[in-house]
């Protein structure tokens, strides 16, 4: 059975703050009309909506990895990601470099857009939780790239627990990751308030930044439905 995303609705408040958050009322989210600004999912296997038309991967100047990956593929030194269910065929991989260098950051930034939806959607499934991953969302000015807001994004595994490969030693600080007893996971949804910029009809860019905080362990985050407004129901193929 295909696992669909859970919903955790997060309204990020203030300019430049990293910890002021308030949960949105679920009715408010449901009332937001779905829009399709050309961002959203990755079924076209093309990063055009993020400034790299025709590409499925690139290396940001911060040295991390950004790549569209296909459901059922192998993209981690740990075991189990090939059995994860995506919303569709593809999702976006964000992580530090192959060496797991904590100073390398995976960065993805949308092309400039004026919000048409009430919220920006982020569907996420991370390999481990906040004890191993830093995930951040920034709102940039669409013309100058000045940082207007920056917020820590809660790191969600959606219940996923990977396993160690046969030749892989245990990872200190992660006793739940063993050579057996892994578990599947599901994407978890965060929604960020863009109402201010919609009212101002202001051009912005949304940027997501991810890196490991455990040296030599480049834990991944999968992203999907990076949308200006709620995407269509996953059952509709988005």
Q: Per residue in 157-187, pLDDT tens?
A: 999 999 999 988 999 999 999 999 999 999 9
Q: Do residues 166 and 185 lie in contact, with contact meaning Cβ atoms separated by under 8 Å?
A: no
Give the pLDDT band (50/70/90) at residue 233: low
Give the pLDDT band (50/70/90) at residue 149: very high
pLDDT, averaged across the chain: 85
- Edge-to-edge strand ranges of the sheet holding 106-109: 106-109, 204-212, 133-141, 147-152
DSSP state of 52: B
Burial of 127 (0-12, 13-18, 19+ CB in 10 A): buried
Q: Answer whether residue 107 shows pLDDT above 80.
A: yes
Q: Answer whether residue 73 shows pLDDT above 60.
A: yes
* 108-117, 126-135, 190-199: range with highest mean pLDDT: 126-135
- Tell me how far apart the alpha carbons of residues 196 and 165 are, in angstroms, rounded to a whole number: 47
Phi, psi of 212, deg, nearest 5: -75, 150
Across 163-177, 203-217, 220-234, least confident range: 220-234
The tokens describing 196, both together, are: 């201010």
**Domain with residues 10-228, CATH architecture:** Sandwich (2.60)
Q: What is the reported pTM?
A: 0.84
- Edge-to-edge strand ranges of the sheet holding 6-7: 6-7, 188-193, 119-126, 221-228, 90-95, 65-70, 57-58
The tokens describing 76, both together, are: 């981690």
Work out the average pLDDT over 27-46: 63
């Amino acid at each position: 059975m295909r696992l669909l995303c859970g919903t955790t609705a997060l309204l990020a408040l203030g300019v430049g703050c990293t910890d002021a958050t308030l949960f949105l009322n679920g009715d408010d989210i449901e009332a937001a009309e779905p829009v399709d600004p050309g961002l959203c999912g990755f079924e076209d296997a093309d990063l055009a909506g993020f400034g790299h038309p025709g590409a499925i991967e690139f290396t940001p100047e911060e040295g991390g990895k950004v790549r569209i990956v296909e459901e059922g593929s192998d993209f981690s030194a740990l075991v189990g990601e090939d059995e994860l269910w995506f919303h569709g065929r593809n999702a976006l991989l964000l992580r530090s470099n192959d060496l797991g260098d904590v100073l390398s950051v995976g960065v993805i930034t949308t092309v400039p857009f004026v919000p048409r939806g009430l919220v920006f959607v982020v569907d996420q499934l991370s390999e481990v939780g906040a004890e191993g991953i830093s995930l951040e969302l920034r709102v940039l000015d669409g013309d100058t790239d000045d940082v207007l807001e920056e917020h820590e994004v809660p790191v969600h595994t959606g219940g996923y627990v990977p396993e160690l490969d046969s030749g892989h030693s245990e990872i200190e600080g992660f006793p739940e990751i063993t050579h057996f007893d892994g578990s599947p996971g599901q994407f978890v949804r965060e929604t960020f308030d863009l109402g201010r910029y919609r009212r101002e009809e202001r051009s912005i860019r949304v940027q997501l930044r991810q890196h490991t905080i455990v040296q030599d362990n480049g834990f991944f985050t999968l992203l999907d439905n990076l949308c200006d407004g709620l995407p269509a129901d996953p059952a509709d193929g988005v």
